[in-house]
């Protein structure tokens, strides 16, 4: 599993003021903790800063890279901010995200090619958010085809099937799971990732739904997730699920993880 | 007798029981109860209670939507009957609603539309990716009380600010109240751009709208 640590995001409590106040210590501490907990990428998102976003994103990339060895996931739909963030990044970043919206696709593609970045591809286009499994598969496949034709390797693409609330449409879980399986079947090298928290919007005990959905999606081919790596419950479930799905030779990772906690 | 029926109607809404709510509407008509009275004293009392329970965290989003469904089905039957009898319903509050240009997120805005309608508000839903001019054009056309915008991206939030400016320029700022909402939108930001109102969720939007139009 490729884990993208989601905690450095100004829409979370206290983070906007930390970024505005350029609180190096708080941000670096959050970054280090996530790396230690097993994050493969550290997501940085300061979209709520609006006009000040480009400068703040550059700052975030710089100070986070000072203290972690893993690459960052530069998370913004704002191309100006994306450029600044990537220019500051050393090594190969992951960009979150590109979509099949014509304008955004062209602009973002140019930037990711220039910086040799990997990319999260959200399955939405100019017709809007995906409606069912079919829509997700169609837009996802188009994104993969268009990206690979432009020279992006399949293994550098992370398709995000877009999680929507089960509270507003009780079939959406099934649609997402079917789409994950189908896309993974057609494009073996492509990664599938997603943020989970949308699934439980408006419902009680949200963590229970988030965790359960993660495991269901992993069983259908999800191999990456945008999560809180400091949540020991979700990390334990992840490790166990990975082992049960046959991704852990001699169960070495599982055993080691358990032993390290004893 | 009719009091008992009103109570049952309210309960049917709280239970999100569409069939029961429709059945009770039919019973009310058969018994000669005025359709608008049945709506007001029965179903509206129910949906108000639903709103209170949601606020207190005792009902959750899917339940709220189920209650709204029951409300819409039952009141549709009664409103049709009222129109046939020639009785005028009170002029309802009119809201023009849409997701702003450049933004195609539709779920949250759809929830708001549904809950507003269930609360007797007339909703003109323009869908997603709606241009500033289209909001204004429709608001003039239907003589709206309120324009409600939704934005789910930090890159599209600014469109609501443009809407306010355009209304100002066209001397229409006094004609319509503007409410804003959506994931990254906050009360503070709404105040900053000079919007008339902000609501965090669909239920809050109902009370805010009623407060603004009052």
Quick check: helix, strand or coil at residue B84?
Answer: helix
Specify whether the backbone of B143 is left (phi greater than 0), alpha (psi in -120 to 50) or beta. Answer: left
Q: What is the pLDDT of residues A72-94, one digit of tens each?
A: 999 999 999 999 999 999 999 99
Per-residue model confidence (pLDDT) at position B214: 84
Q: Where are the beta strands (DSSP E) in chain A?
A: 2-9, 41-45, 72-75, 94-99, 118-122, 157-160, 191-192, 224-227
The residue of chain B nearest to residue A11, with distances taken between CA atoms, is B184
CB contact under 8 A, B60 and A78: no
| Contact present, A233 and A260 (Cβ < 8 Å) | no
pTM score: 0.88
Task: Flag whether residue B153 sits within 8 Å of chain A, measured between CB atoms.
Answer: yes
| Contact present, B158 and A51 (Cβ < 8 Å) | no
Domain spans of chain A, in order of start: 2-261
| Contact present, B138 and B126 (Cβ < 8 Å) | yes
CA distance A25 to A31: 10
Q: Is A222 exposed, middle or buried (0-12, 13-18, 19+ CB in 10 A)?
A: buried
Q: What is the pLDDT of residues B121-174, one digit of tens each?
A: 999 999 999 999 999 999 999 999 999 999 998 889 999 999 999 999 999 999
CATH of domain A2-261: 3.20.20.20
Per-residue model confidence (pLDDT) at position B1: 61
Measured between beta carbons, the chain A residues lying within 8 angstroms of B62 are 166-168, 170, 202-203
CA distance B172 to A134: 44
- Cross-strand partners of B130: B100
CA distance A89 to A64: 10
Task: Flag whether residue B78 sits within 8 Å of chain A, measured between CB atoms.
Answer: no
Confidence of residue A71 (pLDDT cuts 50, 70, 90): very high
Tell me: pLDDT of A193 over 70: yes
Q: Return per-residue pLDDT of chain B as tens, 214 residues.
A: 689 999 999 999 999 999 999 999 999 999 999 999 999 999 999 999 999 999 999 999 999 999 999 999 999 999 999 988 888 777 899 999 999 998 988 889 999 999 999 999 999 999 999 999 999 999 999 999 999 999 998 889 999 999 999 999 999 999 999 999 998 899 999 999 999 999 999 999 999 999 999 8
Per-residue model confidence (pLDDT) at position A74: 98
Using CB atoms, which residue from B62, B153, B158 is nearest to A202?
A: B62
Quick check: helix, strand or coil at residue B15?
Answer: coil
The residue of chain B nearest to residue A166, with distances taken between CA atoms, is B62
Set out the domains of chain B in order of their start, with CATH numbers.
2-85 (1.10.1240.10), 94-213 (3.40.50.280)
Using CB atoms, which residue from B60, B105, B184 is nearest to A11?
A: B184
How many helical (H) and strand (E) elements, i.e. helices and strands, does chain A have? 10, 8
Tell me: pLDDT of A262 over 90: no
This complex has an ipTM of 0.80
CB contact under 8 A, B60 and A204: yes
CB contact under 8 A, A78 and B155: yes
């Amino acid at each position: 599993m490729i884990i993208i640590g989601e905690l450095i995001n100004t829409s979370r409590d206290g983070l906007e003021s930390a970024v505005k106040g350029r609180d190096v210590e708080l941000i670096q501490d959050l970054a280090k903790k996530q790396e230690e907990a097993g994050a493969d990428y550290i997501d940085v998102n300061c979209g709520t800063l609006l006009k000040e976003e480009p400068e703040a994103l550059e700052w975030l990339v710089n100070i986070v890279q000072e203290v972690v060895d893993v690459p960052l996931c530069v998370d913004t739909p704002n191309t100006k901010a994306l450029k600044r963030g990537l220019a500051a990044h050393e090594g190969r970043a992951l960009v979150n995200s590109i979509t099949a919206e014509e304008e955004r696709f062209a602009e973002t593609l140019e930037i990711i090619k220039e910086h040799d970045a990997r990319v999260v591809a959200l399955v939405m286009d100019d017709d809007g958010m995906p409606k069912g499994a079919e829509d997700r598969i169609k837009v996802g496949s188009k994104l993969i085809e268009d990206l690979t034709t432009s020279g992006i390797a399949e293994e550098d693409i992370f398709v995000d099937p877009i999680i929507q609330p089960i509270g507003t449409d009780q079939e959406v879980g099934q649609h997402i799971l079917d789409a994950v399986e189908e896309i993974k079947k057609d494009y073996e090298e492509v990664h599938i990732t997603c943020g989970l928290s949308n699934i439980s919007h408006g419902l009680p005990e949200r963590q229970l739904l988030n965790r359960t959905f993660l495991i269901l999606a992993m069983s259908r081919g999800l191999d990456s997730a945008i999560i809180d790596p400091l949540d020991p419950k979700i990390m334990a479930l992840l490790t166990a699920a990975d082992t049960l799905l046959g991704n852990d030779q001699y169960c070495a990772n599982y055993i080691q993880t358990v032993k390290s906690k004893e | 007798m009719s009091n008992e029926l009103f109570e049952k109607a309210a309960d049917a809404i709280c239970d999100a029981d569409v069939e029961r709510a429709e059945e009770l509407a039919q019973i009310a008509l058969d018994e000669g109860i005025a359709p608008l009275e049945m709506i007001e004293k029965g179903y509206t009392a129910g949906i108000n209670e639903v709103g209170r329970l949601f606020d207190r965290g005792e009902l959750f989003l899917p339940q709220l939507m189920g209650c709204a469904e029951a409300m819409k089905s039952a009141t549709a039957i009664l409103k049709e009957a009222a129109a046939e009898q020639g009785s005028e319903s009170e002029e309802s509050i009119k809201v023009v609603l849409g997701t702003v240009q450049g933004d195609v997120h539709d779920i949250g805005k759809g929830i708001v539309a549904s809950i507003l309608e269930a609360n007797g508000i007339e909703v003109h839903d323009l869908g997603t990716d709606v241009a500033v001019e289209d909001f204004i054009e429709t608001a003039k056309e239907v003589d709206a009380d309120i324009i409600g915008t939704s934005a789910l991206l930090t890159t599209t939030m600014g469109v609501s600010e443009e809407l306010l400016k355009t209304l100002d320029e066209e001397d229409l700022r006094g004609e319509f109240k503007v409410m804003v909402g959506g994931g990254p939108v906050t009360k503070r930001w709404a105040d900053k751009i000079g919007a008339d109102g902000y609501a965090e969720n669909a239920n809050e939007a109902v009370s805010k709208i009623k407060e603004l139009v009052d």
